[in-house]
Structure formats: C-alpha cells, structure tokens
Amino acid sequence: MTTDSLSFFIIIFLSSLIAGIGSIVLLLRCWRFKSGIDSADGIRKTQEQPVLRIGGLSLLVSFLIGYLFVNSSLLSAGSPSLGWPFLILAAAIFLLGFVDDLYGVPASIKLFAQIGIGVSAYLAGMRIEIISNPMGGSAFELGGFSLIFTVFWFVALPNLINLIDGMDGLAGGVGLFLSLTLATIGHLTGNPPLLILSLAMAGGLSAFLIFNLPPAKIYMGDGGAYLVGYFIAATSLITSNKGSVFGALLVVVIALGFPILDTLLAMLRRGLSGLPLMQADARHLHHRLMTLGFSKRTVLMLLYGVFASLSLLGLSVFISAGYTFPIVGMIITVGLLFSLRKLGLPHTLKEAKQQFNELIAVRKDVRYAYSIAQVLEHDLERVESSSAYWDEVLAGLAKFQFSPAISSSGSEISCHGGQCLIHFEISGDRIWRLCCQPPPGGTRSLDRILRCFVPAILNGAERWGSLPANLGILPADECAEVLQLNETKAAPNLPDEIRLVSTQS
C-alpha cells in the first residue's frame, strides 16, 4: 500500500480514532486517583459531577500513532525520518501540562519550561526564518529575530488553546478544524508528513470530542491543550521549502482568528481592570453567548461554524497565493464588527473610549478588591472558625460600602440613606442581595468589584459547608422576580431600582 493512496490515509485516521476511543474508555473505567479530577467551582466550572481532566493522554496516543506512521512512510521511501526531537518536545510539553493537571505547577515555571521547549524546537530546525508578502513578491529574512519569533510561536499557541478550553467541546473543536486545515495544506503541497500527522490528530480529536461534547465526560486538561498547541505550532513548520512556511502560518493565524480575538479581549479587559492577565474568569465570548439565552450545544455549533468559515477563508488565501487576502480581511472585519455589536461589546470608537474610561476609573477599586480577596483566600486555611472568616468577608465588603440586605434571622433589610439595592448573581443558583451607594461608574463597576470576592465566598462555602444568612446570599428561586429584570440591569439613573449584575455579563 503506497503512502499516497486513499486507503492508507483512511487507515491512519481510523487507527487514531479507535486508539483514542479505547484509551479514553480505559481512563474512565480505571482511573482511581483523587488527583486529575475537576470539580465545579460555581464560577467557570458548572458541571454537575466531577470530571476527569486527563483526556490529553488519549491525544498523546494519537500523536504517537501519527509520528510512527510518518517515520514508517519516510523510511520506506528512503527519506530522512522526522527525528526524535519532534517527539521528545511533544512529550515534554504534554508532561508539563499533565503534572499541572495532577498537582499544580506555578505559572512562572510553566512559562520558563515553554520558553525552553521553544528554544529547543529552534535548535532542532523548526524555525520561522522568512516572512513573505502573502500576495507574492518580496520576502523578508528574519535573521537573528528568527529565534524570538519561533519561541513566541511555540509559547503562544499552547497557551492560546489552553485559554479557550473553558467550555465543553471548544478546544477540541478548534484543534479538529486546525488538524483538517493542516491536512488539506499537506495534500495541496505534496507534504506527506504534514498530511499524516494532521490526519492522526484529527482522528484522536474526533475520538476525544465523542466524550467531550456537552455534557462532557472527560476534559483534555492542560496537558492535552499544550499538546494540541504544540502540534499546530510544530506541524505548520514541517516543510522542505522555508519560503512556503509563512503561507501555512498565515492560514493558522486566520483559522485561529476567534480564539486570538477572545484571548486579546480577555487580556485587555483584565489589564485595564487591574487584574492579573492570566486570571481565569467567566467573561469570554462563549460565556457572553450563553447569557443571551443560547444553550451550550447551540453556542458550540455557532462557534464551530465560525471555525469552519475561518479555516476556509485561510485556505482560500493559501490556494490563491494571497490574492484573496484583501477580500478575506474585509469579510473578517465586517464579521468582527457585527459580532461585537450583537454581543454588546464596544464596536465604535466612541463606545470603546467610554468603556476604556470606565475601566480606568474603577481600576484602583478593583485592584484593592482583588488584593482583599487574595488575603481572604489565604485566611481560609488559617482561621479556626467559620464566624471569624465570614466576619472578615463582611469587613472587606464594608471597605467598598457594601452591606448585606439580609439580617442574621434571614429577613430582608431595606436600604436607606440614598443606598440602592443590588442583586448580584454569583452562580447559577445563588443571588447576592446587597445595599450600596449609587456607583458613579455604573453597575459595571459594581460587577467588577464584587466578582473579586466570589471565589473567596464559594471556597468558604465549600470548606464550612454553608453560607451564613447575614451574608445576604439567597437561592435564585427566591429572587425569581428580580431575574426577570435582567434586560434592565444596566438602566442608567435609577439609583433606587433593583439592578441585576451577573458574573456572566
């Protein structure tokens, strides 16, 4: 059977698919350790049951299958093999994420390790050396900057995949579409290693998605996300013609347009708010779609449509040798502005300036609230009684003139002295009833400050088993009439009206 026959490529895909399904079934049935299990936190993780988060092991099996098929085909054709560094670096970055899934690894150590892997990839010959004009013509050799671009590529893509892995089926879907896109490029350019590796990963990701679509039975974890990101970064550089590398990179960047936009908006939002850039939250674009009333599956299908469209646009630029690049750029720009408008995000310069000023105005308060919340997280392990801990929480809230609108007996307290009543959604089944002074920065400023306290409250509830009545947190069904005001939560100039501020907004 020749390596250019259709049956050979089908066998690769099916072998990876079957191996992926088998390995996931074994993991689900045989994993008995407490580590590697992901439980709900009431903020971003809302699964009903704990979920295994080491699905990246099945993707490593698929990657290994692809690597073996590639080297087998290259050796049979008398060509040099892909080389051990390609496999060793994949195993290294997977192991980095896998250890983090099991025990946790400081972010600084992960970053240094990823930089080391990027440098090693450069030394192994996986380099970005030329930036060419996508419409043909001149090309620019990077020279000494090649190392910087290469390391950035190998650090950015694994973290990009990891950052968007916040919804069932999302990261796996991105990886699947990128695998199929790279397989198409491998076929069009006559590049068997790229085609074989991409088909193997497509099979593994298809197997993974069978168990990862909502509601997920397994997560890929950091190990799987890092491996998928490394696969995209490394395989896009597999070519004997260094001048054609940039074309593949451009396709990958276009196909990853949505995750790149989502990540940039998240980092910009956190940076302007005074929060750590890498702090996880529930304000990504897919979270915003769910707040519009779409189910998880509907949101996922919408995003799959976006991924497929961007992949096709990227391929059109590659096939046309860049001549469709202006058209693709226009389509993406129009689609971006339309999406921002529908999602309620700033889509004009005036709106962007207004939100920028709001973020800067409340930045100091948000940073102060985050610092207090961090202290509360540490105190959670030190205080001896629940009453002492919750008193500290109330004292922290009082620094921002927040006071619970529920007494210790559970009865409602009326706000007075010009205060307004706030109902803040801290999770799908809990509403926080508070009194506060009318915020000069609008309800968005309240949302950002209160959100800093949510992890400390939910972690406190997990440790002590319950929440005190005088904290002001009620079951959502007791505030059903308030939830009906969701559409008017940002209504201006109504200081005495009930406002609903959601962690998902």
Q: Which tens digits make up the pLDDT trace of 54-97?
A: 999 999 999 999 999 998 887 777 666 688 899 999 999 999 99
Question: Crossing angle of helices 170-188/146-163, nearest 10°?
Answer: 140
pLDDT at 246: 63
Q: Which two tokens stand for residue 159?
A: 């973290």
Measuring CA to CA, which residue among 452, 491, 441 is closest to residue 374? 452
Tell me which residue has tokens 């892997």.
117
Q: Which two tokens stand for residue 439?
A: 């915020």
Task: With beta carbons less than 8 A apart as the criterion, state whether 33 and 56 touch.
Answer: no
The CA distance from 443 to 440, in Å, is: 9
**Percent of the chain whose pLDDT exceeds 70:** 82
How confident is residue 487, by pLDDT bands cut at 50, 70 and 90? very low
The CA distance from 415 to 27, in Å, is: 53
Q: Which two tokens stand for residue 60?
A: 């490593």
Half-sphere exposure of 198 (CA within 13 A, CB side): 25
Top pLDDT among 285 and 393 is at 393
Backbone angles phi, psi at 427, to 5 degrees: -160, 180
Backbone angles phi, psi at 502, to 5 degrees: -105, 145
pLDDT at 405: 84
The CA distance from 131 to 167, in Å, is: 34
pLDDT at 484: 47
How confident is residue 40, by pLDDT bands cut at 50, 70 and 90? low
* H-helix or E-strand spanning residue 110: helix 107-123
Which residues lie below 8 Å from residue 471, measured CB to CB, with a gap of 6+? 390, 393, 394, 404, 406, 432, 457
Q: Which two tokens stand for residue 211?
A: 């168990």
pLDDT at 456: 87
Tell me which residue has tokens 């800067």.
360
Q: 49-58, 323-332, 352-361, 414-423 — which one is most confidently predicted on average?
A: 49-58
How confident is residue 318, by pLDDT bands cut at 50, 70 and 90? confident
- For the chain, report the end-to-end CA distance as a whole number of angstroms: 56
Could you tell me the CA-to-CA distances from 313 to 229, 231, 324, 442 in Å, in that order? 21, 21, 9, 40
Measuring CA to CA, which residue among 275, 279, 304, 303 is closest to residue 290? 303
Is the omega angle on the peptide bond into residue 404 within 30 degrees of 0, that is, cis?
A: no
Res. 490: pLDDT tops 80: no
Query: pTM surpassing 0.85?
Result: no
Q: 9-23, 291-305, 310-324, 421-435 — which one is most confidently predicted on average?
A: 9-23
How confident is residue 192, by pLDDT bands cut at 50, 70 and 90? confident
Res. 230: pLDDT tops 90: yes
Q: Which two tokens stand for residue 344?
A: 């309620």
**The 3-state secondary structure of 346-403, one letter per residue:** CCCHHHHHHHHHHHHHHHHHHHHHHHHHHHHHHHCCCCCCHHHHHHHHHHHHHCCCCE
Task: With beta carbons less than 8 A apart as the criterion, state whether 435 and 412 touch.
Answer: no
Top pLDDT among 189 and 274 is at 189
Mean pLDDT of the chain: 81
The CA distance from 191 to 184, in Å, is: 10
Top pLDDT among 370 and 505 is at 370
Q: What is the per-residue DSSP string for 241-278?
A: -GGGHHHHHHHHHHHTHHHHHHHHHHHHHHHHHTS-TT
The CA distance from 215 to 213, in Å, is: 6
pLDDT at 86: 93
